[in-house]
Structures are given as C-alpha cells and as structure tokens.
Structure 1
Amino acid sequence: MSTMLARIGRHRQRYENNLRLVSGCIPYRLTKGNDCETDNLESRVEVLMISSPNRDDLVFPKGGWEDDETLEEAACREALEEAGIKGKLNDTPLGVWEFRSKSRQDMCSLEGGCKGYMFALEVTEELETWPERENHDRRWKHLNSAATSGCAKHWRIS
C-alpha cells in the first residue's frame, strides 16, 4: 500500500489579480430515512467538516489550486489530503467567493486575499489514514447545524 503525501509549498500556486486561487468542496452524504419524520430531504443531508490547527471552528476542505491540475482536481486533492475522503464531485461550482486569510501561516497573497471555488462532493469513501490526519479531525454534521456555524453561514471556508 503506497502512502500519499500532502503537497507543500506555493511554487505551483495559481494567482489572479493578486489573489491566491483556492479550490475546495462541501462533502456530503444522505442518511437513510427511518420514519415519516425523515421524509424531508434536507433533514437527511449531512456535511463533513474538519478541524484546523489554531482555529476553534470547523471548516470545509480547501486549499491552493496549482498549475498542474484542474480546478476540480484541486478540490478532490484537498478533500483527500485534509479529510481523507473520496467521492463524486459535481463539476459545477456551488459558488465563488473572495475572502481574506485568517491565518498568517495560510497567507493567500501579500495582502492575504484569496478567490475560492467550492464544489459539492458526494462522499463515497472514508479512508482510515490520510496525509494530514495529524492536523485535521473530521466530523459529520447535519446540514442545519452546519449552516449555523461561522464557516458555512458566511462562506468563510477558511
């Protein structure tokens, strides 16, 4: 079994108008309905969020879009590296947003500006080990509880 390593460094990073380009996903799954109460599709959706070093809130997997991959490949790579998951990516972005990095360690540019693209990822596989397991715990949350977190509420993915 080969071990996948997380990419490090910014030498392949893409920029546009001095903004670091970022790609990520909102991993989700549908839970099985067990009674009439769960007929509502929204109540069956769970999203996977991850912890991040030096932060109290949970975030969705995301990271830099590099020059040797497509935007979609970057989103899938980040999901694998940070959350240890694989799945079916919807290739239409859920949205595009601009944000400022909250961490000096994750500075997007000299000014801290990033432009991010988020995709829906239907999770089909959860790995027991993954490249950044030491830095990220993963937690499934019902869509309603995730939507009220600072991360999802403001599209502040990181």
Structure 2
Amino acid sequence: MAVRLQYGALPYRLTKSGAPEILLVTTRQTKRWIIPKGWPIKGLTPAKSAAREAFEEAGVRGSIKTKAIGVFSYDKRPDEDGIIIPCEVRVFPLLVKRQSKTWPESQQRETRWVEPTAAMSLIEEESLRILISSFFEHLAAGTLASKSPTR
C-alpha cells in the first residue's frame, strides 16, 4: 500500500524562565498523544496546512516555519473499514503566540502542554520522539537552520 503524506505542526512555547514546552493533542479514536497533523489542504502550502491543523485540533496560532524539521511515520488506525494506512508526516515548528478557549475539535481531543522529556514518555511513535528530541536539542543550542527574528 502506498504511503500517504500528511503535514504536522510541532506547537511549542518558551516559559518565562526560557524552558521549552510542547503542546500535545490526543487522537480522536484511540486517545494516543500526538502532535496536530492532517491531510494536505488544497490551496495551502504544506506549512500553512500544518498551521491550520494546529488550530483545528489544538486551538493554537502562532508563527510557523516554512521549512520542515523532519518526517515521522505512523500507521493511521482503521476506522470502520478496518484498513490501516501507512502515513508519513512532514513536521513544521510552530511558535505558539495564542491559544483559544474553544476551537473546532475541542470537544473531541485533549491538549496538554508538557516539557520535551515528558512528551517522550507520552508519545508512542518512536520516529516522532526522535524528531522532537532533535528539534529541542537544536533549539537549546541555538542551531535551528532558520533563525527567528529577535523580539
């Protein structure tokens, strides 16, 4: 079966002390912890598709990088038809500026801000854990490819 492409956002923020946190969401069916992601949206760039998913699934908006930081793979769990779909998710970092009280999928998902090490123990997909770990190592070292403008 062909691998299907999805786009995901890695929503993160820095606490007042400068410590990074990541926003995880649960899947609708199995309630596993993941990052917001979804199918490409016609008329939107990959990064903008990822940003739209972050709002729909987690109620967050912010500045998203246009360059993906990596890819992770997972098997989309079957719905009623029982077919498992292998997916590859291109991930774009999203620096969260605001979080809404309600959003399109707020009744269907839980969200949780966690520090990166806590995220590792919640996420099942090893390739997603590796991608998140690598991102936060680069963030801490100040070596992300495209630097954010200073505030």
Question: Which TM bucket (shorter chain)?
Answer: 0.7 to 0.9
For residues 74-153 of structure 1, the aligned pairs below 5 Å read: 74-101=49-76, 103-105=77-79, 112-151=85-124, 153=126
**Matched residues in 2 for 1:57 and 1:113: separation?**
17
Deviation at 1:111, TM superposition (A): 5.7
Structure 1 gaps of 5+ residues are 1-16, 34-40
Structure 2, gaps ≥5 residues long: 132-151
Contact residue 26 and residue 119 of structure 1 kept, 8 A: yes
Letter in 2 for 1:25: A
Q: Larger radius of gyration, structure 1 or 2?
A: 1
TM-score of the pair, normalised by structure 1 = 0.71
What is the aligned length?
A: 129
Asked whether the 8 Å contact 1:96–1:116 carries over to 2, the reply is yes
| Residue 22 (structure 2) pairs with residue 47 (structure 1) | yes
Q: Distance in 1 between matches of 2:53 and 2:34?
A: 12
SS at match of 2:92: strand
Q: Compute the displacement of 1:129 (Å).
A: 1.1
Cα RMSD of the aligned pairs, angstroms, is 2.5
CA contact (8 A) 2:47 2:67 kept: no
Task: Report SS of the residue matched to 2:33.
Answer: coil
Kindly report structure 1 stretches of 4+ aligned residues shifted beyond 4 Å: none
| Equivalent residue, structure 2, for 1:62 | 37
Asked whether the 8 Å contact 1:19–1:115 carries over to 2, the reply is yes
1:14 alignment counterpart: none
Alpha-carbon contact 1:146-1:152 (below 8 Å) kept: no
Q: Kindly, what percent of the aligned residue pairs are identical?
A: 29
